[in-house]
Structure 1
Amino acid sequence: MHVEPGSCVQRIVGNIKTGVILKDVSMTVHSGEVLAVLGSKGLTVEQTLYHTPTKLTGYLKKSKVKQVMADLALSQVSNRCTDNLTQSEYRRLMIGVQLIKDPVILLLDEPTWDLDPLNTYLVVSILSNTAKKYGTAIVLTMEKPRSDVFPFLERVLYLCLGDVVYTGGTRQMLEYFNAIGFPCPQLENPLMYYLCLSTVDRRSRERFVESNHQISALVEKFKLEGGAFRKGSSITGPNHTLDHPISHGSKVPLLLGRPSSVSTGWTIFVRLLSATLNFKADGIRQIILRLFLLPLFFFFLWTFYREMKEFQHTYVTRNGLIFNCLAGVYFVGILNTILIFPIYRTRYFQESQEGLYGGTLFLLTYNAVSIPFSFLSTAGASAIIYPLIGSFQDTLDYLYFMLILWACYIFTEQQTMAILMIVKDQLSAAIFSIYITCVCLTLSSGILRSIKGLQDWLYYLTYATQTRYAAAFLNRKVFTHPTLNQALAFDSRHNCTNMNLIETSLLNGLNSPYCRYASGQSYLSERYSRDHTDVIFSGILEEDLNIGLTFAFALGMIVFNLFLYLIPLPAFVKAKFRE
């Protein structure tokens, strides 16, 4: 068993030790035998917390460890061996081992057992502060609650023989028992007083029978009149009427009520947004990936293509520019998804197994965070490259250009998320998604290979790909631009003057010594026309159809994922995601 290797800085100056915990350890035990594992512990307080399995690593985990130690008043003993801790310090360390995992709910069985009054007060007050600070629900059992911990307990549940004597707000407890004729005497500890009231007295048969009848009466009383108190509402006046009876009989839920889907979704959304918009290392990394990676790639494209001239070779050059724009959007979408999504996917799998929320709600909230970022990123990237392929003053054409690229980004992001649903390894998922995208770009875009040159079955297969419609839209926008839809010279010294001769030579299968394309329309005909019809007015280059279907693929992939994440995973797939 190995621990995390740590960075060079951690190994040189850090106090977190790294290396091997267990070496070639094997053991045998048979049924009916007792095997004792003996040996000294040796890990310190800080090391115990650091080596607790969590999703955090490196600096983030070290910061979390220091924060938990500060919250639990363990900073002063961080380097002390666990064997040398006091009972109170060891209890707090065990609580810290659970808190380092950032739990939604923390269950503690007698965390103050056998502690002196001062340390009991310290532990309960720390738990109260932790619950408020991190929003963690803490459920603890106490056999002998002291009066000084009363202010730190928001709710209380009294159980006797499996039945509920009272559950609800701690402060409303006094009012409830006073209303049913059991006021707490002055100077008495109310927690212990009502605990004794809810305990069977076994000192004699008469007391046993009497206490049983009393507890049964208290249970029935609470079933009939304790509904409002169970909800923790503040009720004033001794003569109030209680309704809302407990409908679940004697079974008491530990979490009172289930948050609505809107509330849960909002919580997940805020958590995702706060994980992205922060100045920690992971937050900065996500901002760079989500907002600046695609514009950076398009800036590099701009440096290579900014010197394009209006000669014959510009048809091939602009064709390559369109291809690089599409490929860049697709591959950056895959890269961002592979580097960002798996962290949230792992947490979703963990929390969905606990019944907190489902896959559809998770994807809706994730898309609510991701899609606006992709829109801003694509808008910035498009603004960099669009002046090279069109008139920047034409705002509508720029908007179309940007929307096409944005739809492609969304599609490939959703495609990769679908693959990550069943493929845990990020590299395998990335390779698979890139392979699919490369096949579609090669066969369906009409850029690397002419559409009209495809076999019939491949040609009809392209109708099922987004790249066909996105590339067709961009090619039409670029090559029907007035700058290109005319006879262009071969270079600065050779001009094309006799267009009829050129067109005749092309039809006869001969190449002009200088000019291959009479116009942008002739270039499009070579790439897309499978017959002699006007390619511009044929369905394959129809603008509204192409932009509509490009977005239809993106939206369809989103809907497909929403249904995909509703499907229960097979056991062998779930096993891959257990961490």
Structure 2
Amino acid sequence: MVGNDLILELRGIFHSGQVEPSSWTQRLFGSVETGLILKDISLEIKPGEVFAVLGSKGSGKRALLDVISRRAQGATRGQILFEGNPLTLSLFQRACSYVTYRTDLIPSLTTEQTLYYTANLSSGEKVCRYTCSTRVRQMLGDLALNQVAQHSVASLNPSQLRRLVIGVQLIKDPVLLLLDEPTAGLDPLSTYLIISILSSYARRRGRAVLLTMEKPRSDVFPFLDRAAFLCLGDILYTGPTRLMLEYFSSIGFPCPTTENPLMYYLCLSTVDRRSRERFLESHTQILELVDKFKSVGNAYATHSHIQPPSLTKSHLRSVRPSCFQLSTTLYQRLLASTFNITPFGLNHMFLRLALFPIYALLIFMIYFNVSGHEHKDVNRAGIMFFSFFGTYITSTITTALTFSIFRTRYYQEAQEGIYGGPLFLIVYLLFSVPFSLATVAAGSRILFQVTGLTTVEDWAVFGGVLWGSYLLAEQQTIALLMVVKREFNAIIASIYLCLLYLILGGGILRSFGGVPEWLLYTGYATQTHYASLSLADRLFPGLPLSNCSSVQLSALGCKASENHVLSHRSTSPAWDLALSLGLSSAFILSTLVIYLMPLPAFIKAKFRQ
């Protein structure tokens, strides 16, 4: 039976998963090398204590945390009980938190803003209205971050950033907190500070803290209430740290007085790979230690703990936020991250508002005063091409360089069960539309000066067509960034697709005369086809639809042979414009569907770790 003083209990946990790296094709089609990672793991974690899982690289520490958090990929058997109930994914997301080895925060937000928006995303409106601000101020003090409360995340040193990452989970007030190597790469003082903060939190709030460590220092020994030594998925010892020396001395492995007991027994539970003889000797010794603990160590594993503190009520988790509150908070966070005066925010503002107008200004300088040129139609065809291509490429670059950090943060927060992909994408689009409309309005006005058109209606059509093209490239890049991690790869792929649209549907780079009919009809499915027809009607009014000259052929996208003439303008120019904007909007819906589709685990993992 599970005692009343237990928060988490693991009984006989076996887990199989990938044990060797494999190529992306093997991961995609499921042909991976698997093996037994965890072997008969049994642990008890109680309120008010810090439990350390110690082991060298490859011992199964991270796999154990993934199994507890219900994120592990592979077969798992055994019992995982949380406060006496089976621990499901939804239960873990409601009451527990997991600080992964790598967490990507939004660089331009301040320390205080990061904690505040996290608190708003984790608690109901009525609760947060009265407690979130107080909780944020208290958390800043507990984490010793008061002095950097108004500093941007990008300006924090490694110790401050690690404490903030931990605070992002602590602000949710979890009953159980998992941490994967929270002190890795930090100096001794920072390590001591973090462990002492976690120990104080556990005792004061009556929470349980489970963390992994690969190189524990002796000065953190007093803060660790319980410890478990893992090697190759087996447990060599689990129980109170104050009884650890007694146990190992009783089985013939006393710790020298000058040694750090944590590191001494960690080395004892590590396979020596420097030679074949040492490997066999250390492996045999570890197997003996595992068998010894199974036979005589149960009394230590279940040894009664000091009187556990009573658990305080988790106010932030008592009421879940509404969809409206989530949307509002996400929108406010996007605004704050962009308008904060930081290098990150200024860079995003430049990309969103100035990149396309600067491109348009360069084209304006090239085509300035060409209206009297004898090859006026050729110039206008070039303007059409550079207008479409520039819109596509600037939208792609802007989206790839500004969206990726929010994409990664979404993946990590969605794994915590805070919100889903469609909500995130809708909020991002509502945030992005005013910027795209402003930058296209400014850029199209500059390009409009060299088109030879004069009326406001012509500019509205010209700007509307380019805005539809901008939205199309934006959504296409967002869809690519769902499965492509590197921004450069997404930019190249999106630009190639846009060039394909121009070739198939634009009739600008290549006339339809030499294109096979099946490709010609394929062009009808592109937004570029209708966008180019809308502009051609205004830039080249009155020109025939067939038997065109070479100049007209390039500009209009019509065909020289009457035997293959298609009614490219079976609809009116107004309908062409409506179809252009409609297809651009339809791509938004398709992107929403993509964010609802299940993806292979290895694709999602590269954004979350």
Q: TM-score range, shorter-chain basis?
A: 0.5 to 0.7
Matched, 1:569 2:591: no
Task: Give structure 2 stretches of 5+ with no counterpart.
Answer: 1-36, 41-52, 57-100, 115-135, 149-158, 178-196, 208-312
Paired residue type of 2:365: T
Paired residue type of 1:405: L
Pairing of 1:546-561 with structure 2 (within 5 A): 546-561=576-591
In 2, the alpha carbon distance for the partners of 1:326 and 1:465 equals 13
In 2, the alpha carbon distance for the partners of 1:549 and 1:315 equals 25
How much does 1:141 deviate? 5.3
8 Å Cα contact 1:475-1:524 kept in structure 2? yes
Matched, 1:453 2:530: no
Pairing of 1:351-500 with structure 2 (within 5 A): 351-392=413-454, 394-480=455-541
Task: Give structure 1 stretches of 5+ with no counterpart.
Answer: 1-28, 38-51, 79-91, 111-129, 131-137, 146-229, 231-251, 487-505
How much does 1:472 deviate? 1.6
8 Å Cα contact 2:108-2:342 kept in structure 1? no
1:105 is aligned, of 141, 152, 172, to 172
Pairing of 1:17-416 with structure 2 (within 5 A): 53-55=102-104, 71=141, 74=144, 96=163, 98-99=165-166, 105-107=172-174, 142=204, 255-392=317-454, 394-416=455-477
8 Å Cα contact 1:293-1:332 kept in structure 2? yes
In 1, the alpha carbon distance for the partners of 2:333 and 2:498 equals 32
Aligned equivalent of 1:83: none
Q: Call closer, same or farther: CA 1:550–1:318 in 2, change over 3 Å.
A: same
Q: Call closer, same or farther: CA 1:542–1:254 in 2, change over 3 Å.
A: closer
1:527 is aligned, of 541, 558, 564, to 558
Larger relative contact order (CA 8 Å, sep ≥ 6): 2
In 1, the alpha carbon distance for the partners of 2:447 and 2:402 equals 26
1:84-126 CA-to-partner distances (Å, cap 9, x unmatched) read xxxxxxxx9899364465765244889xxxxxxxxxxxxxxxx
8 Å Cα contact 2:465-2:581 kept in structure 1? yes
Q: Call closer, same or farther: CA 1:349–1:472 in 2, change over 3 Å.
A: same
In 2, the alpha carbon distance for the partners of 1:308 and 1:316 equals 11
In 1, the alpha carbon distance for the partners of 2:147 and 2:344 equals 29
How much does 1:280 deviate? 1.1
Paired residue type of 1:566: L
How much does 1:424 deviate? 1.7
8 Å Cα contact 1:476-1:541 kept in structure 2? no
In 2, the alpha carbon distance for the partners of 1:434 and 1:295 equals 19
Give 4+ residue runs of structure 1 displaced > 6 Å after superposition: 29-32, 34-37, 57-65, 67-70, 75-78, 92-95, 532-535
Q: Call closer, same or farther: CA 1:268–1:529 in 2, change over 3 Å.
A: farther
8 Å Cα contact 2:106-2:337 kept in structure 1? no
How much does 1:327 deviate? 0.2
In 2, the alpha carbon distance for the partners of 1:315 and 1:330 equals 23
In 2, the alpha carbon distance for the partners of 1:427 and 1:525 equals 33
SS at match of 1:296: helix
In 1, the alpha carbon distance for the partners of 2:146 and 2:412 equals 34
Q: Call closer, same or farther: CA 1:140–1:255 in 2, change over 3 Å.
A: farther
- The RMSD of aligned alpha carbons is 4.6
SS at match of 2:419: coil
1:62-104 CA-to-partner distances (Å, cap 9, x unmatched) read 9999x999845858999xxxxxxxxxxxxx9899364465765
Aligned equivalent of 1:542: 572
1:357-379 CA-to-partner distances (Å, cap 9, x unmatched) read 11110001000111110000000
1:107-148 CA-to-partner distances (Å, cap 9, x unmatched) read 4889xxxxxxxxxxxxxxxxxxx9xxxxxxx98653899xxx
8 Å Cα contact 1:528-1:540 kept in structure 2? no
Q: Call closer, same or farther: CA 1:408–1:105 in 2, change over 3 Å.
A: same
Q: Call closer, same or farther: CA 1:461–1:299 in 2, change over 3 Å.
A: same
In 1, the alpha carbon distance for the partners of 2:565 and 2:519 equals 22
SS at match of 2:524: helix
8 Å Cα contact 1:98-1:106 kept in structure 2? no
In 2, the alpha carbon distance for the partners of 1:578 and 1:480 equals 53
Q: Call closer, same or farther: CA 1:255–1:462 in 2, change over 3 Å.
A: same
8 Å Cα contact 1:295-1:384 kept in structure 2? yes
Among all aligned residue pairs of Structure 1 and Structure 2, give the percentage whose two residues are the same amino acid. 31
Paired residue type of 2:104: K
In 2, the alpha carbon distance for the partners of 1:477 and 1:94 equals 56
In 2, the alpha carbon distance for the partners of 1:364 and 1:140 equals 38
In 2, the alpha carbon distance for the partners of 1:532 and 1:30 equals 71
How much does 1:411 deviate? 0.6
Paired residue type of 1:302: F
How much does 1:395 deviate? 0.8
SS at match of 1:407: helix
Paired residue type of 1:539: R
Q: Call closer, same or farther: CA 1:75–1:349 in 2, change over 3 Å.
A: closer
* Corresponding residue pairs, total: 362
In 2, the alpha carbon distance for the partners of 1:429 and 1:547 equals 28
Which structure would you say has the larger Rg? 1
Q: Call closer, same or farther: CA 1:444–1:71 in 2, change over 3 Å.
A: same
* Residue range with higher mean Cα deviation, 566-575 or 374-383: 566-575
